Amino acid sequence: MKALILLATGIADDTRAGPTPLELTDTPHLDRASGEGRLGRVRFAPTNERDTAAVALASVLGYDTRRDRLARGVAEAAGMGVELQRDDLALRLNFVSTWQGRLADFRAGRIGRVEARLLIEALSAEFEGEGVEFHAGQGYRNLMVLSGGRELQVETVPPQEMVGRQLVDAAPYGRDAQRLLDIVNRCCAVLEHHDVNRVRLDLGENPANVVWLWGPGSPEPIEPFELRTGRRLSVVAGVPMARGFGLLAGGRAPVIPGGSGDLDSDFEAKRRAALTALDDSDVVLLHVAAGNEACHVGDGEAKGELLSRLDGELVGPLLDALAERGDTRLLVTTDHMTSASRRSGPTAMVPFALWGPGIKALRAVPFCETAAAQSDLDIDHGHTLLEYLLDSAPANLPRGSSSAQRPEQGSESAR
């Protein structure tokens, strides 16, 4: 039995604030997956660990992040083709915009690749010969590598969690944090006077006036996915972090032209690549980061539009293609509960749907947060979800009936 995992980041929200975009948007193909299969909830992040995209990515592929540790910076480096030495410290570098000492925009006005590359070149020139390397990625997403930094004890906070907060509340901390703070301060001095930012200000755009360093880590071996599961892995993704994890786990990770990981990502190209990968892989992870980007636009409309695209351009055609193949199960899930302005907590359970051969439906239910919470299938340790997906005869799926039905449009209990 083969498996295709659609990890669509950022599509689920906390229902306590009212109906969510997922509940209010018409998604017939997602509903088909949950209605013809099994809907449930999964907790990807262990207790006391941040429910980040990186944690969910590792967990959905069966890695227990309590012992299988992989830093964000290391995965980013692998996905960008940057070879790390054993003693290097790699960190994700975001260009961000600040205002009066607060983080205003963690994407620096969605700065473009050309502008970001010019800034990265200026930072590289500033630190030439000092063992600090800067690598251009995709717009605001970049990388910094600190030679000999493996032993530094530093902790960082993801910028998307700190929008509107004082910078002093989110600075790197730990015994050796001052080393990073000194680098950040020098970078800010370079960015302040750079022509890219002067032009952006003249055009009324947010400047990339601060670098945000986070996700530090040094190279560590990862047990190959094929060795631990006996299955061949492919990862189809636009963002370097997801591609990098696939490569580090011994899988294939083709570069997808047009797969930007942003709102303009080419879903059709990613769908074709995922289906092609099934021909010579047993497990294919299709990573879609556009949901996270949509939820930070600031309103539910953008997210609703993204969900409609996801449903029509990815989920529907995938269901039809997999039904024709007859040898592949589909898992649809997300990374964490999120929204433009709130997070539900560090260990929230998110919805998932299992669909395909051997998965028997109990009752037709929509794919949404409310229906998932009413299902009888909760998986508390996310890394075990892969076992349910790959089990050739999943008798271990809990039996019972779900009481969740589609509420009327506009109902407070959502779709």
Give 284-306 pLDDT, tens digit per residue: 999 998 766 655 555 567 788 88
- Residue of 246 and 403 predicted with greater confidence: 246
Please write the tens of the pLDDT for every residue from 22-39: 999 999 999 999 999 999
Across the chain, what does the average pLDDT equal? 88
Identify the band that residue 403 occupies on the pLDDT scale cut at 50, 70 and 90.
very low
Please write the tens of the pLDDT for every residue from 139-160: 999 999 999 999 999 999 999 8
380 pLDDT above the threshold of 70:
yes
Question: What is the C-alpha separation between 206 and 197, in angstroms, rounded?
Answer: 8
Residue 293: predicted pLDDT: 61
| Token couple for 245 | 């994890």
237 pLDDT above the threshold of 80:
yes
CA distances for 50 relative to 46, 60, 172, 195, angstroms: 8, 15, 16, 37
Please write the tens of the pLDDT for every residue from 334-374: 998 875 344 444 468 999 999 999 998 888 899 999 999 99
**181 — phi, psi (to 5°)?**
-60, -40
Residue 404: predicted pLDDT: 37
Please determine, looking at this structure, whether the domain spanning 2-70+222-390 carries the CATH number 3.50.50.60. Answer: no
Residue 195: predicted pLDDT: 97
Range picked from 39-48, 87-96, 301-310 for highest mean pLDDT:
87-96
Choose the weakest-confidence range: 110-124, 260-274, 287-301, 381-395.
287-301
Residue 393: predicted pLDDT: 54
β strands within 270-344, DSSP E: 283-288, 328-333
Identify the band that residue 414 occupies on the pLDDT scale cut at 50, 70 and 90.
very low
Q: How large is the angle between the packed helices 113-126 and 195-202, nearest 10 degrees? A: 140
| HSE (side-chain half, CA atoms, 13 Å) at 225 | 27
394 pLDDT above the threshold of 60:
no
Domain positions in the chain: 2-70+222-390, 77-217
Residues 240, 242, 243, 244, CA torsion sign: positive
411 pLDDT above the threshold of 50:
no
- Residue of 289 and 274 predicted with greater confidence: 274
Check: CB of residue 179 under 8 Å from CB of residue 147. no
Please write the tens of the pLDDT for every residue from 189-233: 999 999 999 999 999 999 999 999 999 999 999 999 999 999 999
396 pLDDT above the threshold of 70:
no
Residue 395: predicted pLDDT: 47
Average pLDDT value for residue range 307-330: 96
